[in-house]
Each structure stands twice: as structure tokens, then as C-alpha cells.
Structure 1
């Protein structure tokens, strides 16, 4: 690989940087290659000493974005005053947004909660009814058999409801993760972190 190919590939790898930063790195590596050439190395040797341009570009990008993420934006005194004065407005809007998000989670989880409660209560009622059907024999065999049949039917519904709860919970966990990801994505896209 010659010098021009190396610099071209490096420039392609640094496409996410702005032009001034990109040109700064291109000039730096151009000078490095020139220094190797002055020391008596061939162009191919000089380029091979530097390494692969894609690897160099990825290191540069990694360092550049780490620096940007660590830079803290300081609030100006005017911004602080405006935030304090505007708190009644933006505070109530923020509280409303938080409550809307909370209500969305409550709505999402109402159905699995309802089916789960039906499963638990149905299981308890059917077990109680099976035990009580033995005492219903005193009133007549047909009453005891009817009560036993109803309790087994309720037990079946409770088991189906339990399976539905597990299935719904799996789907709703995924939905909650997606919803949370979208909510956090709104804040991360603006450089804010929660």
C-alpha cells in the first residue's frame, strides 16, 4: 500500500469526524510517513510501520467520542436563573410526563395482573370447594357431585389463567423493555442522562 492509498483509507475511516479534525489527523499521518521516508524507509515500509488505516481510524474515533462524552456542559448563570424561575411550569410538565409514563406501565400490566389474580383466587376457591364437597354429601350426593364438578371446572380455568398469565407476562416484559428503551432514547438523544 502506498502513501496515497493509506491516507485515502484513513480519511474514509474518519468520515464521522468533522472536516477540521479529519484534516488534522490526515496531516499528522502524512507528516509521519514523510518522516519515515526521510529516515530512508520506502513508502511501503513507512505505511506498514503505521499499521492498518482502519484500525487507526477506529482508535481515533473511539478516543474522540470518549472525549466528547466526558465533556460536561456548564450551565450559565442566566440558564440557572431561568430554570429556577420556570420551575412551576417545567416542573409540572415533568411531573405530568412521569405520571403518564407510570400510567402507561400500569395499563400495560393490568391484564397479566388480572389473569394472575384470577389464577390464584380460582386455585384457592377450587381447592376449598373440593374439600367442602365431601361435607356436601350430607345434603345429597348430587349436590356433592355438582360442587365437585364446578370446583374441577374452576381449577381448570385457574390453571389456564395461570398459563395465560405466564405467556402475557413474557410478552409484556418485552413490551416494557421496548417502551423503556424508547423513553430513555428520548433523553439520550438530547444528551441528557437519567
Structure 2
């Protein structure tokens, strides 16, 4: 087993720890393997000296549980389960309304860049169509062909500007969406802590 495989499996085994504690243990075992390698052992031998990642993770979790860093799982109260089932029409509809409200927020956030992006794509297609077929309107007169060519080039310019505007707005709206998402996640985590 390579060092990367060992550290990956150890990381998966430490799923009950928070990210900072996990990172400390991963960093510790990474350095430990490097020390063994510097002492002349191969990477596989160094990993073998540490044992199986599942056993190492189990030992770490046992020690964390004994120190009180991990709380034991709480048993589920049957009365609470019954109340949740009976109250589903109320809390289920409220949950659905909340989900739809969050979805509406994302739709509002992305409505403007979506509209400019659609205009950029359709404007590009229309302008290319207009420019290409302006040559076929020569039979109707040169002024009509030149006008159609000019309109096609004008719409091409607008669609390019709209595409550039979409790209620049999308960067801003991605930041806004990330901020909106982090607020929602933070609110959910606070609710979990209160329960």
C-alpha cells in the first residue's frame, strides 16, 4: 500500500472527527511515514509498520471518545418519531416551502446572466444567419442586401457584448451564489446545534 492510499483510507476512517482534527492526524502520519522513508525504509515498508488504516483510525476514534471529543450517539425517542410522522403534513409543507424559497432565490440571482447569455447565443445565430443570407437578397436590390448585412453585423456586435457581459456578471453572481449558499448552510448548522 502506498502512502497516499494509506492516508486516504485513514481520512475515510476518521469521518467522525472534525476537519481540523482529521488534518492533524493525517499530517502526523504523513510525517511519520516520511521519517521511516528517510531512515531507509521503502514507502510500502513504512506504511506496513503503521498497520492497517482502519485499525489506526479505530484506535484514534477510541482515544477521542475516551477523552470526550466525540459524543456518543443519542438514542432516538420513539415518541419523537411518532410526532414527526404525524406532524409531517405541517412540517413537510413548511420544508417544501423553504426549499422552493431557496430555489426562487437562486433563480432570481441567475435570471440576469441567463437572459444575457441567451441573447448572446441567439444573437450570434441570428447575426450569422443574417450575414450569410444577405448575399441572397442581392436580387431584391443592393440597398436591402447592405441593410441586412449591416443589421447582421450590428446584432453580432451586440451578441458579443452580451456574451462578455454574461461572463463578467457570472463571476459576480457565482460569488453571490456562494455567499447565499454559505449563509444557508451556516443557518442549517446552527439549527442542528440547537437540536
Sort the TM-score into its range (normalised by shorter chain): 0.5 to 0.7
Paired with 1:135 and 1:141, the residues of 2 have a C-alpha distance of 10
1:77 aligns with 2:78: yes
**In the TM superposition, what whole-angstrom CA distance separates every residue of 1:111-147 from its partner, at most 9, and x where no partner exists?**
1111011000000000000011111111111111111
Paired with 1:68 and 1:75, the residues of 2 have a C-alpha distance of 21
- SS, match of residue 191 in structure 2: coil
TM-score (norm 1): 0.62
TM-score (norm 2): 0.62
Q: Which 4+ runs in 1 deviate beyond 4 A?
A: 66-70
Change in 2 beyond 3 A, CA 1:79/1:155: same
Structure 2 unpaired stretches of 5+: 1-63
- SS, match of residue 134 in structure 2: helix
Identify the residue that residue 134 of structure 2 maps to in structure 1: 133
1:143 aligns with 2:140: no
Q: CA deviation at 1:70?
A: 5.0
Q: CA deviation at 1:149?
A: 0.7
Structure 1 unpaired stretches of 5+: 1-62
- SS, match of residue 135 in structure 2: helix
1:89 aligns with 2:90: yes
Paired with 1:154 and 1:178, the residues of 2 have a C-alpha distance of 35
RMSD of aligned Cα (Å): 1.9
Identify the residue that residue 31 of structure 1 maps to in structure 2: none
**Structure whose alpha-carbon radius of gyration is higher:** 1
**In the TM superposition, what whole-angstrom CA distance separates every residue of 1:38-80 from its partner, at most 9, and x where no partner exists?**
xxxxxxxxxxxxxxxxxxxxxxxxx59x955554333212211
Q: How many residues align?
A: 129
- 1:45-194 paired onto structure 2 within 5 Å: 67-68=68-69, 71-191=72-192
Paired with 1:137 and 1:67, the residues of 2 have a C-alpha distance of 85
Q: CA deviation at 1:106?
A: 1.2
